[in-house]
Amino acid sequence: MATIPTPVCSSDRPDLADELSADINEALDGAASVSISLRDSTTNTTCAVDGDQKYDSASTVKVTVLAALLWDAQSGNRTLTQEERERATAMITESDNDATTALWKRLGDAKISAFLHAAGMTDTVPDKENYWGLTQVTANDQEKLMQLVTSENPTLRSDSRAFILELMGDVVDSQRWGTPAGVPLGTKTYLKNGWLERASNGWRVHSLGAFTAAGHDYTLTVLSQDNATMEDGIARIESVARVVHNDLNAYAAGPRS
């Protein structure tokens, strides 16, 4: 029997860390093939569950492709072409595979690898046969990417980060599942999901999210596999997301009495 991973949380508010650990553990309900990485800047809270476990990326790698494209454009002191902007928009907002393939080929192995090195995403490994959806990723590395997208850093300029967030904030309604489940009203939500079925390990279903509400900023990555159906994977992610949103936002205004 597989070992069930245990949530490891830390926070400037130890009671919040304890509550998140307990609630995430309960939400996982014995699931062995789920990895989580959470970072909340407001309370300096982090949580990880099996954060170094590798997964096929499916379409979550599309955020990496866009970040690499923008990083490369920065390096060349140029703006994206109209064609690149249109493909990037389709890739993120509609999860368009043809647009992704075109941008992946345009970047090539060398530029993608150079971006991963610059981003410190040392556990992200492109597929040897160049299938972008089979890029190996971890929750911890995806969380590094989300921090690059949402926070000031030397790798991605503010205009690059703003473009990524603009597209992640405009994902089509049919794909707005996963980490936003249970988010409070009025919260700004930025999202990219991925899903892929293979003969081994069933459905991979992943969700990357960033959330801002009343000065409360956090990012949440949930990766999963061994799901019998895509719907099962979505349900597993959303059960985790609901307790995270509930616990973090209950503490956003101050500690509980």
Segment 160-179 mean pLDDT: 98
Q: Does residue 195 form part of some domain? A: yes
Domain membership flag for residue 169 = yes
Which structural domain range is residue 80 located in? Answer: 8-251
- Report the pLDDT value the prediction gives residue 232, as an integer from 0 to 100: 95
Question: What number is the average pLDDT over the span 138-159?
Answer: 97
202: left (phi over 0), alpha (psi -120 to 50) or beta: left
Place 162 in a pLDDT band, splitting at 50, 70 and 90: very high
Q: Domain total for the chain?
A: 1
The least confident of 23-27, 40-44, 214-218 is 214-218
Distance (Å, rounded) from C-alpha 8 to C-alpha 140? 13
Residue 67 located in a structural domain: yes
The proportion of the chain whose per-residue pLDDT surpasses 70, expressed as a percent, equals: 95
What share of the chain in percent tops pLDDT 90?
90
Mean pLDDT of 197-212: 96
Q: Is residue 198 part of a domain?
A: yes
The CATH number of the domain holding residue 73 is 3.40.710.10
* 219 within a domain of the structure (yes/no): yes
pTM as predicted: 0.95
Name the average pLDDT for the chain. 94
Q: 106-121, pLDDT tens digit by residue?
A: 999 999 999 999 999 9
- Residue at 199 is within a domain: yes
The SS3 call for residue 191 is: strand
Burial annotation 12-34 (CB, 10 A radius, 16+ → b, else e): ebeebbebbbebbbebbeebebb
64 located within any domain: yes
- What's the confidence (pLDDT) of residue 1? 46
pLDDT of residue 252: 63
Question: Taking 50 as the threshold, does the pLDDT of residue 257 lie above it?
Answer: no
